[in-house]
Amino acid sequence: MLDDFEHASIVVLGSGTSIGIPMIGCHCKTCISDDPRDKRLRPSVLIKLDEHRILIDTAPDFRLQALRVPIERIDAVFYTHSHADHILGLDDLRPFNFMQKSEIPIFGSPEALDTIKNTFPYVFNGVATQSSKPKLTPHAFADGDRIPFFGMDFETIKLCHGTGTAYGFKFGDCAYLTDHSAIPEESMSRLQNLDVLFLDALRYNPHPTHQTVEQSIRTVERLQPKRAFFTHISHDLLHASVEARLPENVHLAYDGLEIPIGKAARP
Ligand SMILES: [Zn+2]
Ligand SMILES: [Zn+2]
Ligand SMILES: [Zn+2]
């Protein structure tokens, strides 16, 4: 249970869409904004449970994100899906192998793990090399699996991501749902009345693989979380002006935001 931990929190490592904000070469209002909340690395979060650290996705910016927090331990990595903005920092897990002197378990759907193995063949082909490579133990999950860690269950939640599939993760009364264009009804039934709910909100204009701000506000209205945070944000959304228009319990996530959960959130 989350309440078993003295200090539990979710740290937003990256709140941006796949291209990152600012976008290379773009001079729009958001990309030139001085507000640090408009600087968005690729999407990922870290879950802190006392001394334990669970990482969701290894974004291309993972090395920088790990130095910023800083992250000095990783007990497991959960992959939402295998798009480049969620996996390409995988090679930077090596320092954690060095520090922890052990392999790191990684969890993903069979499809995501296949793509990860094809993208990083040198990591998984068992061939010894003169250079270092990440030491990872892949574990496949299915929808609804509950993966136990430190007395907590990490439940996998199937999401529609355009014509593909991505997974969200529910732990205690919190859930992190990035990349999705729809949430299947069966998944919706497992997400009611949470404390903290992360949702995808790319921009205001419709997109085939992501939710809009308005669509995610409707999801919040149906699921009634105490606090909702929108992530995977494009440069169409200027933080301060969008934040001011959101319902009271809904916020745009931003890089570096740390959200207390469990006992820490209940004074
Ligand atoms: Zn993405
Ligand atoms: Zn821009
Ligand atoms: Zn994606």
pLDDT 10s digits, 223-254? 999 999 999 999 999 999 999 999 999 999 99
Mean pLDDT by 10 residues, the chain (267 residues): 94 98 98 98 98 98 98 98 98 98 98 98 94 97 96 97 98 98 98 98 97 98 98 98 98 98 84
CA of 208 to the centre of ligand 3 (A): 11
CA of 177 to the centre of ligand 3 (A): 11
Alpha-carbon gap, residue 216 to 200, rounded angstroms: 7
CA of 203 to the centre of ligand 2 (A): 12
Could you say which ligand is closest to the alpha carbon of residue 19? Answer: 1
CA of 14 to the centre of ligand 1 (A): 11
CA of 3 to the centre of ligand 3 (A): 32
CA of 179 to the centre of ligand 3 (A): 5
The topology under which CATH files domain 2-265 is Metallo-beta-lactamase; Chain A (3.60.15)
| Residues linked to residue 160 through DSSP beta bridges, in sequence order | 165, 182
Alpha-carbon gap, residue 88 to 47, rounded angstroms: 20
CA of 78 to the centre of ligand 2 (A): 30
* 145: CB partners within 8 A, 6+ apart: 155, 156
pLDDT computed for residue 218 by the predictor: 98
Structure tokens at 10: 């979710």
pLDDT tens for each residue of 41-88: 999 999 999 999 999 999 999 999 999 999 999 999 999 999 999 999
Calculate the CA 123 to chain-centre distance. 23
CA of 178 to the centre of ligand 2 (A): 21
DSSP letters of 68-115?
HTT----SEEE-S---HHHHTTGGGGHHHHHHHTS-EEEEE-HHHHHH
Q: Is 211 left (phi over 0), alpha (psi -120 to 50) or beta?
A: beta
Q: Which chain residues have CB less than 5 Å from ligand 2, an ion?
A: 23, 26, 28, 31, 235
Q: Is 235 in contact with 26 (CB distance < 8 Å)? A: yes
| Residues linked to residue 54 through DSSP beta bridges, in sequence order | 47, 76
Alpha-carbon gap, residue 24 to 5, rounded angstroms: 41
According to DSSP, residue 212 is labeled B
DSSP letters of 177-199?
--S-SB--HHHHTTSTT-SEEEE
Q: Is 109 in contact with 145 (CB distance < 8 Å)? A: no
pLDDT computed for residue 176 by the predictor: 98
Burial category of 122 from C-beta neighbours within 10 Å (exposed 0-12, middle 13-18, buried 19 and up): exposed
